[in-house]
Amino acid sequence: MSNTAESTAKRPLRVAIVGAGPAGVYAADILTKSNEVKDGDFEVSIDLFEAYPAPYGLIRYGVAPDHPRIKGIVNALHKVLDRGDIRFLGNVTYGRDLTLHDFRAFYDAVIFSTGAIKDADLDIPGIDLEGSFGAADFVSWYDGHPDVPREWPLDAKEIAVIGNGNVALDVARMLVKHADELLVTEIPDNVYQALKNSPVTDVHVFGRRGPAQVKFTPLELRELSHARDVDIVLYPEDFEFDEASDDAIRSNNQTKTMVNTMTNWLVEEHAESEQPSSRRLHLHFLHSPVEIYGSESADGGSGKVAGIKFERMQLDGTGNVKGTGEFIDYPVQAVYRAIGYHGSALDELEYDAKRGVIPNEGGRVLDANGNPVPGIYTTGWIKRGPVGLIGHTKGDALETIGFLLEDRLTLPPAQNPDPQAIIDLLEERGIEYTTWEGWNKLNAHEEALGASWSESAASDGVVRERIKVVPREDMIRISRA
């Protein structure tokens, strides 16, 4: 019998999961429900670590607050953590508060599910001008991330959003939507006030390929049409379809639905043009960004964003595009790039900088020589890159947990597997960790803020289920009270 088999025969297998977003919670849930655990082959004891004081990761800090499906996902994650068989430890940062050496000392296995929170780079001239932003930073701001500034410069009337995925549509929708419509969500007050004072009139969303190649989903597309006093503007010259586009429309119901929806909007917009709205959301296709240019500043510098140049593209028959040599300028005062997220390196682990992932095989983390590191695993976006929907991380977790179960008899055993030992270490280091009980306190507090607002004279009949607490220190204080 191996050392791990001998050491865990009389105790539960100790597993740490770093990252309490959907990927981490799914991994914990799948492990606790595995046949091996249910059949009594062994017991498992899981600690779920999170850098923020609150759980849910991407759901709390990376998805637009007006998504109708968010509540369902949060409820599902809540049920998993509320069972009591998975311990949540928040406000603990890997690489600062705890090292890999620490985790190895207290756990038989560690699963990293830290996600991807940075913007992918867009290497074009002018990308660093004032008024050029990464979508991830904007999302963090409007979602009340505790570690970003409370203010956001919303002074542009005309805005470009580069990208044709769900994040691009989220960003565009949040920019163009009237702030009062967002009061029914959990947006913080500073976000509401800033959006309410925005002078925006036009938001342009640009994609490199055609309408049949977009990466957003029908749900995202339909949500655009729900915004009050916002016209959706499309352009007939953008509706180009090659052989691959026609095949996609015939064979893929999702593609067919989206193309039909946009085509119908294209027809309808001319019929409604007699009553224009105060804001417009423009959808452009077959545009490849070339340069962001700025206005000249007083000192002769490039100053702030003043416009963006695109090359007009055409489909090449395969669904890909090639340049036409035709260039188009759009006057805008802000540019948001939403071309994807990128994972960050983690201390003491190998890192693939090009893909933004931890090198791995099916979730088994690899060392510099391409060999599996015993007892170290990964799942979610830091495992495979930021592609797919939130639900797709379940498949990632299932694969990773499968390998962990396969390896469980040969894992390097924890030196001190007592569940209290990690708590003692956190307290010894003065780390103000939060717990699931603490999250329930914070959750109740945010709901109480919403109820209080709803009862106020200013509510005008609007019911707010909750208002998100933003400052980290307040989240910690409320959670640890």
pLDDT in tens, 312-355: 999 999 989 999 999 999 999 999 999 988 899 999 999 999 99
Q: How far is Cα 325 from Cα 474, in angstroms, rounded to an integer?
A: 54
Torsion sign across C-alpha atoms 397, 403, 405, 408: negative
Mean pLDDT of the chain: 92
Give the pLDDT mean for 375-389.
Answer: 90
Torsion sign across C-alpha atoms 452, 453, 459, 461: negative
Cβ neighbors of 70 (< 8 A, separation 6 or more) are 59, 63
Q: How far is Cα 365 from Cα 379, in angstroms, rounded to an integer?
A: 10
Give the pLDDT mean for 300-311.
Answer: 87
pLDDT the model gives residue 298: 58
pLDDT the model gives residue 1: 47
Give the tens place of pLDDT for each residue, 243-289: 999 999 999 999 999 999 999 998 876 555 567 899 999 999 999 99
pLDDT at 297 over 80: no
pTM: 0.93
C-beta of residue 337 within 8 angstroms of C-beta of residue 124? no
Give the pLDDT mean for 106-135.
Answer: 94
pLDDT the model gives residue 269: 65
Q: How far is CA 198 from each of CA 119, 169, 194, 416, rounded to the nearest angstrom?
A: 24, 18, 6, 55
| Minimum mean pLDDT range among 292-296, 299-303, 395-399 | 299-303
